[in-house]
Amino acid sequence: MHPAIFISASVLVGMLFALQEWLNARRWGYRIRLTFVGEMWGMQFLLWGIFCWLLWRFLRPLIVKARVLTLVTRVLPLSIATSIAEEMIWVLFFPKVPIDRPPMDYWHRLTFQLDAEFVDSMAIFWCAFLLFRGVSYYQKFREKETTTARLQVQLVQARLAALRMQLNPHFLFNAMNSISSLMRTDVEAADVMLEQLSSLLRMTLERGEVQLIPLRKEIEFIETYLAMQQQRYSGRVRQSLAVDPELHDAMVPALILQPIVENAYVHGLSKCAGDGELSIDIRRDGKRVRMSVVNSGNGLHAERDVAGRRGVGLVNVRDRLRLHYGEQGTLLVREFGMGRVSVTIALPLQIGESGTDEAARFDA
Amino acid sequence: MTIQVVLADDEVLARQKLRSLLREQSDCEVVGECATAAETIELVRTAHPDLVFLDVRMPDMDGFDVIDALSAEKEFIMPRIVFTTAYDHYAVRAFEVHAVDYLLKPFAPERLWAALERIRERAGGTLTGDAKEHGEKRYTSRMVFKSKGRILFLPVSEIRWIAAEENYVRISAGKETHLLRETMAHLETRLDPHFFLRVHRSSMVNLQHVKEVRLESDGDTAVILLNGEKIPMSRSYRARMQRLLHP
């Protein structure tokens, strides 16, 4: 707390006491000037304000940590010394007090004042002490609370990172396997695929640990992924991808679509002899982003036999949506006629700031 | 005419790949290989190749030092440069020193063929640096951007159409489209209006790729491109197009 605020507050308390004394005096018929009472009380609490602030400033660890023994051996003597010091200074400022008495010398006045005010001073000291101690407890409590919150966020992030790592290698090794097999039959195609895989890795690495990325980046990734799959399935699958231009800057969890598209291939399209169809449609639905991936294939039921395999990728997607958006993120798997399966995810629309660092440059 | 090529890369496997791919091209002749920047400078000085495939990171100096050293010599005609590197962050610098292309390793043969095609296109003229060719033009002849994990040095002549998508523009070139953070208005100032024509509030076509303008049955007009793509044209832009096609 700023010293000026603290000391002003203290003086304000003094003023209230002054007002009370003045009112009391009037009730009992004494004539006393309000300014005079105000000066006395004001000065007393000004001094206390300064003292307490200095104590807090320099003896904070003692105040916060003191146990019973330290309280008796150190804080108690300190309270007595402080109270006496305060009175000594105060008496200096008011040579005419006590009023209505013959003039007295300094020490006389001091003993007089201590006699009347010492207990009050001690009370003020201990009140301030308790106040400081309370405030510091509260601060510590708040700190702990924010640390816990931060830890929780870190934990969630670590889990998200782990989930993402589960997605990548799976896909990586499949691709390498494809390249390895292509190398025996079609070196050119293997080369093209290697370039595509490098592009995908480059994009993934560039993102680093960022959880949310603009949709256009996810789409770039998906486009490259689709091009690679097109190569592997050599034209057996008709792909279509439609994205609402309004959503280029919408923030989505990185790699959220890839496992869904991969699933569409592994469990649906790979079963099609030809004429496979994959369509990805991303549109805005009020305050939500809806992404749906529809693929032809054998439907869901045929898959049940291979118990749970469809699960892994989609469970990851569902977990990540829940971690990011809670109840707001949903994943829905449906089957409709002719063995077509649709996976739709919906999440709250958040428009991110579009970076200008990646702008194109022109010649001359 | 044959294109004389020098390969500069510290990795022998990288040079081998280029050499074997270039062997398929009847008009390319590899006149030398080098593994360090110093060797490269020496070889380029004596052999006067038309084209250098230059790795950015080499043991002694980097690829840019090679270019600096060579361009410091008077009267020396710079060969065309194609950078080959695994790092993407040198792209803008490479673009600024007027490299023809920037191949990110590993690259597919197609990518290399595209680079060679650009070399051939310009081989008709003199093999001088781009700066001299385009230095005085107001309009850009090519642009550099990152798309799908690759670096593209795209000659604007390869652009077929450009369409606005909210805060972005989609550029169609070659087999794919690229999304760029640009505005149509800005692109219009950078692209030569002799070639790039607005056909709609949100689209622009490159006249070099236009086959015809067709009146549809419903009274609307569409631009048909050489590759068969159809781009709708709005009335207000029709008159301008007709003036250009039938002067």
- Interior angle at CA A170, CA A165 and CA A176, nearest 5: 120
Which one is predicted more confidently, B121 or A220? A220
- Same structural domain, B106 and B66: yes
Interhelix angle B109-123/A187-207, rounded to 10 degrees, is 100
- Same structural domain, B83 and B157: no
CATH code at B98? 3.40.50.2300
Residue ending a domain, choose from B83, B114, B134: B134
- Which residues in chain A are contacts of B131 at CB distance < 8 A? 364
- Same structural domain, B31 and B123: yes
Q: Do A198 and B88 lie within an 8 Å CB cutoff? A: no
- Which residues in chain A are contacts of B182 at CB distance < 8 A? 359-360
* A135 Cα to chain B: minimum distance (Å): 51
Q: Tokens at residue B212, please? A: 């015809």
Q: What is the pLDDT of residue B220?
A: 84
User: In angstroms, rounded to a whole number, what is the distance separating the alpha carbons of residues A182 and A193?
Assistant: 9
Residue spans of the domains in chain A: they are: 3-148, 186-348
- Same structural domain, B58 and B15: yes
Mark which residues 218-277 of A lie under 8 Å from B by CB: 219-221, 223-224, 227, 245-246, 248-249
Q: Do B148 and A223 lie within an 8 Å CB cutoff? A: yes
* B200 Cα to chain A: minimum distance (Å): 17
Prediction ipTM score: 0.70
User: In angstroms, rounded to a whole number, what is the distance separating the alpha carbons of residues A258 and A7?
Assistant: 62
User: In angstroms, rounded to a whole number, what is the distance separating the alpha carbons of residues A360 and A146?
Assistant: 42
Residue ending a domain, choose from B134, B155, B171: B134
Quick: pLDDT tens for A61-98: 888 788 888 888 888 888 888 888 888 888 888 877 77
Q: Do B109 and A191 lie within an 8 Å CB cutoff? A: yes
Task: Supply the pTM of this predicted model.
Answer: 0.63
* A131 Cα to chain B: minimum distance (Å): 56
- Which residues in chain A are contacts of B95 at CB distance < 8 A? 361, 363
Q: Do A362 and B107 lie within an 8 Å CB cutoff? A: no
* A194 Cα to chain B: minimum distance (Å): 7
Mean pLDDT score, A12-23: 89
Mutation for B interface: A197, A205, A362, most B CBs within 10 A: A362
Decide if B165 touches A, using CB distance below 8 A. yes
- Same structural domain, B98 and B160: no
Mean pLDDT score, A5-25: 88
For the domain spanning A186-348, the CATH number is 3.30.565.10
User: In angstroms, rounded to a whole number, what is the distance separating the alpha carbons of residues A80 and A264?
Assistant: 81
Q: Which run of H or E residues covers position B190?
A: helix B184-190
Residues A236 and A272: beta-carbon distance below 8 Å? yes
Decide if B184 touches A, using CB distance below 8 A. no
Q: Do B143 and A224 lie within an 8 Å CB cutoff? A: no
Instruction: Check pLDDT > 90 for residue A255.
Output: no
- Same structural domain, B241 and B220: yes
Residues B79 and B49: beta-carbon distance below 8 Å? yes
Give the best-scoring range by mean pLDDT among A210-224, A228-242, A350-364, B27-41.
B27-41
Task: Identify the domain containing residue B189 by its residue range.
Answer: 142-245
pLDDT band at A301 (very low <50, low <70, confident <90, very high): low
| B233 bridge partner residues | B221
Quick: pLDDT tens for A264-273: 887 888 777 7
DSSP output for B70-135: HHTSTT--PPEEEEEES-STTHHHHHHTT-SEEEESS--HHHHHHHHHHHHHHHTS----HHHHHT
Out of A195, A206, A245, the one facing B168 most closely (by C-beta) is: A245
CA A206 to chain centre: 24
- Same structural domain, B108 and B155: no
Q: Do B149 and A354 lie within an 8 Å CB cutoff? A: no
> Chain B residue closest to A359 (CA)?
B181
Residues A294 and A340: beta-carbon distance below 8 Å? yes
pLDDT band at B22 (very low <50, low <70, confident <90, very high): very high
Decide if B141 touches A, using CB distance below 8 A. yes
Mean pLDDT score, A150-166: 67
- Same structural domain, B164 and B203: yes
Q: What is the pLDDT of residue A213?
A: 87
Q: Do B106 and A199 lie within an 8 Å CB cutoff? A: no
- Same structural domain, B17 and B126: yes
How many beta-carbon contacts under 8 Å exist across A and B?
94
Residues A69 and A77: beta-carbon distance below 8 Å? no
Out of B110, B111, B145, the one facing A360 most closely (by C-beta) is: B145
Quick: pLDDT tens for B186-196: 999 999 988 99
Q: Do A216 and B142 lie within an 8 Å CB cutoff? A: no
DSSP letter (8 states) at residue A71: I
Quick: pLDDT tens for B195-235: 999 999 999 999 999 998 888 888 788 999 999 999 999 88
Q: Do A363 and B167 lie within an 8 Å CB cutoff? A: no
Quick: pLDDT tens for A191-247: 888 998 888 888 877 776 677 889 999 999 899 989 888 887 777 889 999 999 999
Neighbours of B51 (CB within 10 A): 24
Out of A188, A356, A363, the one facing B181 most closely (by C-beta) is: A356
Tally of domains in chain B: 2
Quick: pLDDT tens for A119-128: 888 888 888 8
